[in-house]
Amino acid sequence: MAEKAEIDTSYLGQIERGERHSPGIAIIAKIAQALNVSEGELLSGEKESEFSTPSHAAVSEDIPERIADELRLMTPRQQRLYERVFRAIRELSESRD
């Protein structure tokens, strides 16, 4: 799968073993594409269904997919900036817990 996702095998192994807790957005997109699932499905761990009725939880789960869609429209430089911002927000959030 690492070859299909075009990422280093040892890095993928670290993600699988939980040694890497926050892979970048670009890596998440590559893994999702290699698995033929959406980023939202990959992050939520649940299969999206076109027949399910949207609930509050479903709307929240849609957020990663919407973010991924926005990122696809950005330049690589813009994507890196957003990734840095996301990581800073995450670190802030974790420090308050």
The total domain count for the chain is 1
Q: List the domain range (segments joined by +) for residue 68.
A: 2-96
Closest CA to 28 of 1, 57, 68: 68
Q: Reduce the DSSP state of residue 48 to 3 states and report it.
A: coil
Per DSSP, helices labelled H in 1-97 are: 2-5, 9-16, 25-35, 39-44, 56-72, 76-96
Q: Please report, for the domain that includes residue 31, its CATH number.
A: 1.10.260
pTM of structure:
0.48
Identify the residue with better confidence: 81 or 62.
Answer: 81
Give first-to-last CA distance, the chain, whole Å.
34
pLDDT of 51? 45
- Other beta carbons less than 10 A from residue 41's beta carbon: 17
Copy the structure tokens of residue 86: 């996301």
Residue 11 has pLDDT above 60, yes or no: yes
